[in-house]
Amino acid sequence: MINIENIANKSIILNFLYKLLIWIRKNYETSFTSYALGKLCEKIRLYCSHSKICTYLSKSNYLDRLWANSLICNYLAKYINMPGNYLKKIYLKNEIIFSHSYVFKFIKFISEKFEFVLGFALTIIMIIPDHRWYNAYGVLITILLALLLFIKTIIEPSATIDTENLDFTFILFFASIIMAAATSLFPKDSLNYLIQYMTAFIAVIIIVSSMKNVDNLNTVIEFAVLAVFLTSLYGIWQWKVVGIEVNPSLTDVTVNRGMTGRVYSTMGNPNVYGELLVLIMPFFGTVIFNAKSFMKKIIYAFLFVPVLVILLKTGSRSAWVAFAFAVFVFVFFKNKKLLPFLIIAGILAIPFLPPSIYKRILTLFNPNDTSLKYRKQILEPAMPMLRDYWFNGVGLGNKVFNIIYKRYKPFTLKTVAHTHNLYIQIWLEAGIAAIISIVWFIFRILRKSVISIMNKKDTNINNILIAAISGLSGILIMGFADHIWFYNRILFMFWVVVAIIISSIKLLNMENS
């Protein structure tokens, strides 16, 4: 049997890197940089201890208590569970009859393993290639999961549909989405997009209701990272076996000479695939830190390598920047002392990047890049459109957006799918209520996550929260350069990550109580 520790001890490269890190750490601790950063952190801590903003961020919010005790929250929880409670009484009276049914035994078995069913469903959603994917699949999978959860609430005494742990701003946002569809300039065209939003809404409730302990969450997350690993293998097959032609509509060939085709894996578009990777890749940190055996940690570390390579091969600059920010957030909350080493490691890695990727990074600062110019050209007509429809929006979906946008865009600009900016797109489609509620919700959920992480109640849940807010922060940064909800699978996975955060906070609250 291979002894990994012996191999590591005999490796010249690993020993060199280890000695280099020890040398950097030793000299850093006695350096002027360390002294200056220490003084700066001390000043920041002193300022924060007297800051009203920091005090607000660090204490429990009275709005949470107000929402928990409100009639809306209580009635929502009561009436959404009413059918299940009624059927539960019937089931308990006839439990012996049901127990003789093999079909019922099978349903009961899979309901008891709900986290595995959920993880498998997420895997299916991520690994089906784009040319074989239909949005109806996502709706059907969510309906089946909802049905299984409903049965679970009937046959398990403690199982309920949990709406009490949903933040009130989450309810407000989806209420604004329903209103946007109802008041759409073209309601029929908005209906399909409303279905996709409601699918994500139901998925959040399913996940929050079914996660009863940290092991459930870890199982779902392990399925997610394994699914992303499988998509990276498919991407490698595209890159190395099939070959990918350079698409001029995705890459400016004049400033990206020598660049090969961009990997898109199962998502059909390299930028969209980059969005999926940014969301899920931080969870590799979770499974590595939460793994109980050393061998499992090593396996997941190796699985991360091809995913990182494929992220680079997407050629998505916004995804690279977003992932770098996600890594920064992860390291900041996991161990702030490692930030200088992270920065040094990033600088040292630059000479080892392939020339095509290095040149691609440099195009971020090239004013002649057509991609950057194109985004600017799209946003210019969007501003007067926003002034006209700032209150209600035009209605959900890119179809409605395109119809109205044509009235504002110049003739020289070709057909535009969206504004390449998540926040402006939400505002244009769903109006002022939607953009305020989503920004408010993001602020509140990140605030709750940071408070939970700082309290350090449970290391395993902390690792989940750190990865989740890292991925969420990364994708939100990416939202300034792209409409990340344009592709429905990314919209769905975005809210899956949100559901993981809500579930983690819920579990911590359960431990505290």
Q: What is the DSSP string of 171-184?
A: HHHHHHHHHHHHT-
d(CA 182, CA 176): 10
Which amino acid, one-letter code, is at 364?
Answer: L
Burial of 480 (0-12, 13-18, 19+ CB in 10 A): middle
d(CA 382, CA 375): 11
Burial of 75 (0-12, 13-18, 19+ CB in 10 A): exposed
| Other beta carbons within 10 Å of 315 | 25
- Looking at residue 2, its pLDDT comes to 45
* CA-closest candidate to residue 59, choices 466, 457, 455, 451: 451
Q: What is the DSSP string of 214-280?
A: HHHHHHHHHHHHHHHHHHHHHHHIIIIII-----TTTS-TTTSTT--PPP-TTTSSHHHHHHHHHHH
How many CA within 13 A on the CB side of residue 326?
Answer: 31
Check the CA dihedral 465-469-472-475 and report its sign: negative
Blockwise average pLDDT, block size 10, the chain, 513 residues = 49 62 66 69 66 57 79 88 90 86 90 95 96 95 96 90 91 95 93 95 96 95 97 94 79 66 91 96 96 92 95 90 94 87 79 72 70 82 92 92 89 80 95 96 94 88 96 95 93 97 92 72
d(CA 218, CA 177): 31
- Looking at residue 186, its pLDDT comes to 93
- Report which DSSP code applies to 40: H
Give, in order, the Cα–Cα distances in Å from 127 to each of 226, 273, 313, 351: 10, 11, 18, 33
- Looking at residue 8, its pLDDT comes to 46
- Looking at residue 59, its pLDDT comes to 56
Can you give the pTM of this predicted structure?
0.88
| Other beta carbons within 10 Å of 149 | 23
* CA-closest candidate to residue 412, choices 386, 379, 367, 377: 377
Extract the tokens encoding 467.
């990865």
